[in-house]
Amino acid sequence: MWPGTAVRWRRHAGRWRRAVCAALVTGAVVLPLSGAAQPRIPAPLPAEPPAPTALTLAETYAAHRANAAEASRMAADHGDRHRAAADRAMADPSRHLLAFDGRGAGLATEVLGDLARADRVAVLVPGSDTGLDTYGRFRAAAVALHRQLVARAPAGTRTAVVAWLGYETPGTISTTVATTGRAERAAPKLRALVADLRRITGPGTRLTLLCHSYGSVVCARAADGLDVSDIALLGSPGTGADTAAGLRSGARIWAARGDDDWVEHVPHLSTGLFGTTVGFGTDPVSPEFGARVFDAGDGGHSDYFDPGSRSLTNLARITLGETTEVTHD
């Protein structure tokens, strides 16, 4: 290639990248503006019990259930029956809440299983459009995984699943979903959760992060030196890192994408645009990224935790440390 041709090609490629990223932003802002005008649902300030330990988990759970019950009453008085019902479900005596905040879209951290005695703990990190109003589908994924773990765990191995809706997720159609801003704000909170889990469970418990869609960007931002054994990136648009090694994590890095997942068609680019970084770079299931790519079956973007799926089976194997049994494409 002649030197002048190479220069022109690089300029063309740069313009093309900027055009694509601009299109991503443009497409993200066209539709969601009506949502910004929705009225705020009143809710109490979150409960602030002492930092939980294995001995105080019951008190922690009770404090957050009480807060969810009050949020339900306030939402009902406001006339929002849907949110009132969602909050009321969180306040059920059977629910184990490590955190709850009914304000805005809402935040919650829920435990399935006996966290204080668990040997293997999976933390689910959700992607876009997850809040209290849509929490049911996120919880269903956690329930499916917990059932799979209980069914598969060797005798004497105790498991727990933590459904972490601990950050304000972006809308699927929004300016925020194509940038790292929400993930950067969420990462310290995820790191704090891992510290809490270590305090509750002790150093011998195996912690695994299962990060879906935009949640994989959150996990990538939190990964540096994080005390977990495995990080799985599911239906990831990219992490912002060029390679798995770029996450600077001692954990095994896994990646998977279902055959029918639309995220395959998202351009894997990253560039500065309008004062922020747009796009997330290298495809995590590509050889260039260097993750351990496993079989997610033929499901779509929301199917990674479907009961009976190859994806769920492999996620349970990763969580249990049965890494040699994980199947690959």
Q: Measuring CA to CA, how many Å separate 219 from each of 33, 176, 298?
A: 28, 16, 24
Strand-pairing partners, residue 161, are: 112, 122
Query: How many Å apart are CA 50 and CA 60, to the nearest integer?
Result: 8
> Are 112 and 163 within 8 A, CB to CB?
yes
pLDDT of residue 277: 59
pLDDT of residue 39: 58
Indicate the SS3 state at residue 142.
helix
Indicate the SS3 state at residue 260.
coil
pLDDT of residue 276: 59
Q: What tokens appear for 245 in the block? A: 């090694």
> Are 207 and 229 within 8 A, CB to CB?
yes
Which ranges of the chain have pLDDT less than 70?
Answer: 1-39, 173-175, 177-178, 269-279
Sort strands 159-165 and 120-125 into parallel, antiparallel or unpaired: parallel
Q: Is the pTM of this model over 0.85?
A: yes
pLDDT of residue 280: 76
Q: Cα-Cα-Cα-Cα dihedral of 308, 309, 311, 312, to 10°?
A: -20
Which element (helix H / strand E) includes 69?
A: helix 57-78
